[in-house]
Amino acid sequence: MATLKDATAIAGIGQTAFARRLPESEKTLACRAILVALDDAGIAPSEVDGFASYTMEETDEVEVAKAIGAGDVTFFSKVGYGGGGSCATLGHLAAAVATGQASVGVAWRSRKRGSGPRPWKNTAVQLPTPAQWTRPYGLLRPADEIGMLARRYMHAYGATRDHLFNVALACRNRANQNPDAIMYDRPLTREMYMTSRWISEPLCLFDNCLETDGALACVIVSAKRARDCRQKPVYLHSVAQGLPAQHHGMVNYWNDDPLTGPAWTAARQLWKHADFGPDDIHVAQIYDAFTPLVPLSLEGYGFCGRGEGGAFTEGGALETGGRLPLNTGGGGLSEAYVHGFNLITEGVKQLRGTSTAQVPDAATCLVTAGEGVPTSAVLLRN
């Protein structure tokens, strides 16, 4: 059977500055990040013939291709479900490159979330029909929707706010080491966390990701070609998407066990095609739009058993030197929230050995996309 295992590699990464507010447009930021990534790889823009993005991306491949001076483009795709699509862009490009539909693929994310409009703030926006079952009751924001699962999870398995704090703290501590992170010089304490304002009880301010402007990009080529590029190749070892049976968007309330989210489905597929398992992962970049997504994902991806995700965070497990160093650039909680794409580039930095919170000899990294929504994940190796 044909396999994508290690057939392609990430040859280049690029990013803009991250800030609450950047003056340039999303389109300009996208082009900047992509050109940096191509330069990182040492590949000319005219060689790009594949693009992949995910929904809620306002800059289309048509705009990007003509702006950067791409050649004839023979593959393009757009993955659904917002932050759940970040890693799937790499999977789509890997499949395209491995099967000869394209030779140089670019995935990117550009977002002005810090200064741009927020859908739930605009009353004029017509409600999508699935929202007829939740929004009239004041379940308006993703924080409200995930807070519902978080309270049930805490009730069912004895997870506590201290466990959620452990997640927020690990991300903040790593951001404090990363000069590019929005929270670079802003340490977090337990007292700050426990006394911060509520957003949607049981979630407080520090359980929520940042609102950020910025853009990032990745360049994917065949493994053979990557070995001749400027940077050490980071191989796409396994890729997976996950949309579980009877799933329903972020309000995953209507299947048999709403606490068993898309991570579980993606994980089964991811590990099935991998030469190693959760015990062999040296560092993880787990989608952290909200802190409770981390214990749920730790369970889904098999780092611990059902209900053990909270306890897993104890004893510094997510910190440098712990069992599973997490979100080593600071993640969505403390580096930048660019719909999870910074988790991918941080995974690449770890395997190149260039992270600001480098895990010694890191050779394997799990990167995940948004949990709660139909999701995706990749295993990177060097």
Partner 1 sequence: MDVNDSLLLPVVDEDGAPFWEYAARGELRVQACASPACGELRFPPRPCCPHCGSFDSEWRAMSGRGRIWSYVIPHPPLLPAYAEQAPYNAVLVELVDAPRIRLAGNVVASADAPLNSVDPARLRIGAPVRAVFCPAGPRGAVTLVRWLLER
What does the alpha-carbon distance between residue 19 and residue 1 come to, in Å, rounded to a whole number?
46
Residue 21 Cβ vs partner 1, minimum distance, rounded to whole Å: 17
- Angle, alpha carbons 55-57-60 (nearest 5°): 105
Min dist CB 197 to partner 1, Å, is 7
Could you say which of 124, 246, 279, 321 contacts partner 1 (CB under 8 A)?
246
Question: Which residue's entry shows tokens 């190149």?
Answer: 352
Write down the least CB distance from residue 104 to partner 1, Å.
41
Residue closer to partner 1 by CB (options 265, 328) is 265
Nearer to partner 1, 44 or 125 (CB): 125
Instruction: Say if residues 20 and 75 touch (Cβ distance below 8 Å).
Output: no
Say if residue 202 is preceded by a cis peptide, omega within 30 of 0: yes
The neighbouring-strand residues paired with 53 are 78
| Site size for partner 1 (CB under 8 A) | 41
Q: Restricting to residues 103-162, which ones interact with partner 1 according to CB under 8 A?
A: 120-121, 123, 126-141, 143-144, 147-149, 151-152, 155
Catalytic, 81? Answer no
In the set 54, 81, 153, 287, the catalytic residue is 287
184 is catalytic: no
The least CB distance from residue 126 to partner 1, in Å, is 6
Looking at the Cβ atoms of 33 and 150, the one nearer to partner 1 is: 150
Place of tokens 């796409």: 236
* 253 is a contact residue toward partner 1 (CB under 8 A): yes
- How far is Cα 3 from Cα 95, in angstroms, rounded to an integer? 9
Q: How far apart are CA 75 and CA 102, in angstroms?
A: 6
Residue with smaller CB distance to partner 1, 53 or 134:
134
Residue 137 contacts by C-beta under 8 Å, 6 or more apart in sequence? none
Contact call for residues 55 and 82 (beta carbons, < 8 A): yes
- Going residue by residue from 196 to 215, which x/- string records binding to partner 1, judged by CB under 8 A? -xxxxxxx------------
The dihedral formed by the CA atoms of 51, 52, 54 and 59, expressed in degrees to the nearest 10: -10
Active site residues: 287, 337
The residues that touch partner 1, with contacts defined as CB under 8 A, are 120-121, 123, 126-141, 143-144, 147-149, 151-152, 155, 197-203, 246, 248, 251, 253-254, 256, 258
